[in-house]
Amino acid sequence: MASVDADDKYTAAIEVSNACRMFYVSRLQTAETLKNRLMDRRRAVRAAAASSPPRGQGVHRPAGAVDETTALEAVVAKLHNELVSPPHFGREYTVT
């Protein structure tokens, strides 16, 4: 009976080792898959950035397109105009 118990311990150790190896390999494959997905996304973002117009040149819209300005863009434009204009002492500023 002693030899059967020794074989069971040996077999159990091999099974644990194989299970650990399978877990490691599956995690490695999952990590590689995620890495490839991220690289694909980065390539897509870079390609989109390369095809868009450079900053400051705006977007070319077709003739007749309506120029929509959000409230935030309007406030930022107003702030920009106030910052670059010469100082006006005694001028009242209103918050809108």
Q: Is the pLDDT of residue 25 over 90?
A: yes
Locate 32 and state its tokens: 């590689």
Locate 73 and state its tokens: 């863009």
Tens-digit pLDDT profile for residues 12-21: 999 999 999 9
Buried residues in 82-95 as b, exposed as e (16+ CB within 10 A): eeeeeeeeeeeeee
**pTM: predicted TM-score of the whole model, two decimal places:** 0.43
As a whole number of angstroms, the distance between CA 12 and CA 25 comes to 20
Tens-digit pLDDT profile for residues 50-86: 776 655 555 555 555 555 667 788 888 888 888 887 6
As a whole number of angstroms, the distance between CA 77 and CA 83 comes to 10
Q: What angle do CA 51, 56, 57 make, to 5 degrees?
A: 60
